[in-house]
Structure formats: C-alpha cells, structure tokens
Amino acid sequence: MNEAEIPESKYVYCIIRCDEPQQFHSKGIGERGEKVYTVHANQLAAVVSTSPIIEYDSSRRNMMAHTLVLEEVMQRFAILPVRFGIIAPNEKTLQEQVLVRRVGELNRLLDEMESRIEVGLKAFWYEEAIFQEIITETPEIRQLRDSLAGRSAAETYYERIRLGEMIEKMMDKKRELDSRKIMLRLRPLAHKTRVNNIITDKMVLNAAFLVDRQQEAAFNQEVQLLDAEMKQRLIFKYVNSAPPYNFVNLVIHWEEQPN
C-alpha cells in the first residue's frame, strides 16, 4: 500500500482524558495490525488505529483485538469504551463531532469512571442440588413426581407438564431469594450496580458493579465469602477490572462534512 492509498479513517476504541500524544503496544483491529495511538482535542483523546471504512464481523479475533486495546489503555487511564465497530471518516471529524462537540458529556462520564472499575458476577446453581432442594422442601412436587414413577410418558403427559410448571415456579422464587441475598451483600460496596437478564435456567444472577478502586479489595473479599458460604449450591464466575460497558453507552453517528 503506497502513501496515497493509506486510509484517513480511524477505528475508535475508547475516549480518555489526556493532552499528551500516546502510543500503545497492542495491535489495532484488522489484518495489518496498525499502530494504536491518540487523537486529541480539549484535553480529551480518542484512542484509534487506521482502518478502512468496513464492517468488522464479530469474530473472536476482531473482538479480542478491540478488547486487548481497552485493557492496555485501562492500565493507565480511566476510559469510556466505544461500541465495537465504530470508524470515524477522518481525524478532523472525530475531533469536531466527538471531542469538541461532546466535551461536557465526555468529561462528566470520565469524572464518574475516574478511579473506578467494572466487575462482573454471574451465579449459577448446581442443577442436581437445586432440584433436590425443591423436591425436599415441596411435598406437593415430591408426591407428584413419585406418582409418575413406572407410568408411561403418554399416560402422564399433562401431569408432567404440571410438574414442570411447579418446578419452574419454585425455581423463580429461589432465584429471587438467592439473587437478593447476593445483592444485599455486594450493593453497599459498589458505586453503581446493574442487574442484567439471566440467560440460562441455571443462572441465578447476572450483574455488573462499578466499584471504587479503594473498595476493590473489600468487594473481592465479600465475593470470596459468598462463594465459601454457598459453594454447595452455587458456582460464581467473577470478572475483575473489565471495561465499563455496563455503565457507559457511547453512541456515535457521523454527520456528512461539507466539501
């Protein structure tokens, strides 16, 4: 690619507060692995790499390239992550339409992210354990289950549907109780929380927390205590120091520039 063919467009990873040019070790998205650097205005900076204006597919390789840049930048700066796949037509447009026009919004968000990290927690039941709890604690369900033993599926079709509905109802109640117990312990240690939708029947909680770095050790310890207390029933999947996607939602649209 000769100099005339180098695209002016820039893939945008995140926004930071910084007035000195920066370059990062992570390689940019795309086959060429372009250098990652900053574009500046108003003491703000966009972290970018050169890219043609194309639609990147959400492959593992592309998503990982995007994430690795964010993780490196996070080591030194509070960040406002930009949604995957955003490409500015050129540096001037990026400066004018984002760093200048939205300076107040970006500074407000950066103030909130300063010295804070996002952590994620997912909790899942051990399937056998929760079903055994329900059977043990609910005589009506236990009796109905026992009454189906030795009878054909066709003969007991509607009873099996009823049994499934009863178990599902009990699981909903237990999920609410277990998630409430976890949140009561963790919410006081977080600046903000967000509870997302569950994605499997075994999932009890899918939550993100914006945590002050000074509270990080206390928050980690509380998760460990919950894990120790509930390890016979629940599996915890804990992600520490993630980009704050759950608390920042930067939407960027480009206006056409006059000729």
Q: What pLDDT, on the 0 to 100 scale, is given for residue 258? A: 57
Q: What pLDDT, on the 0 to 100 scale, is given for residue 6? A: 61
Q: What pLDDT, on the 0 to 100 scale, is given for residue 31? A: 83
Query: What stretches in the chain show pLDDT beneath 50?
Result: 1-4
| 225-237: pLDDT as tens digits | 999 999 889 999 9
| 52-61: pLDDT as tens digits | 999 999 999 9
Give which of 112, 125, 117, 90 is closest to 7, Cα–Cα: 90
Cβ atoms within 10 Å, residue 93: 17
Q: What pLDDT, on the 0 to 100 scale, is given for residue 1? A: 47
Q: What pLDDT, on the 0 to 100 scale, is given for residue 257? A: 63
Q: What pLDDT, on the 0 to 100 scale, is given for residue 3? A: 44
CA–CA dist 160, 141 (Å, integer): 11
Give which of 20, 78, 23, 13 is closest to 47, Cα–Cα: 13
CA–CA dist 3, 84 (Å, integer): 27
Question: Alpha-carbon Rg of the chain, whole angstroms?
Answer: 25
Domain range list for the chain: 3-114, 117-242
